[in-house]
């Protein structure tokens, strides 16, 4: 359905991190290709929008806190 390798490749992540994302999704959904792809795509989307970022070593993801309500409002 989706080319998850191309989508993850656009994020310029380390190969180690790409493999880890795919491995974790495959472990969670070993027999469901659609759910595997959906999980990988949701992870890629979270990275793209800054909700997840690679850690300093580039081998794991870390959460980025969302701004508190009203923090983006100008006065």
Note if the pTM is more than 0.75. yes
The residues, ordered by sequence, that sit 6+ positions from 43 with a Cβ below 8 Å of its Cβ are 21, 25, 52, 61
Q: Could you report the per-residue pLDDT of 32-72, keeping only the tens digit for each?
A: 999 999 999 999 999 999 888 887 766 678 777 766 655 55
Q: Could you report the per-residue pLDDT of 6-42, keeping only the tens digit for each?
A: 999 999 988 999 999 999 999 999 999 999 999 999 9
Burial 31-55 (b: 16+ CB within 10 A, else e): eeeeebbbbbbebbeebeeeebebe
**How far is Cα 46 from Cα 58, in angstroms, rounded to an integer?**
16
User: What is the chain's Cα-based Rg?
Assistant: 14
């Amino acid at each position: 359905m989706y080319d998850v390798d191309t989508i993850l490749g656009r994020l310029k992540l380390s190969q180690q991190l790409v493999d880890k994302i795919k491995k974790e999704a495959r472990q969670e959904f070993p027999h469901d290709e659609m759910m595997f792809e959906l999980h990988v795509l949701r992870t890629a989307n979270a990275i793209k929008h800054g909700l997840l970022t690679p850690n300093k070593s580039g081998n794991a993801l870390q959460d980025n806190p969302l701004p508190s309500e009203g923090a983006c409002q100008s006065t």
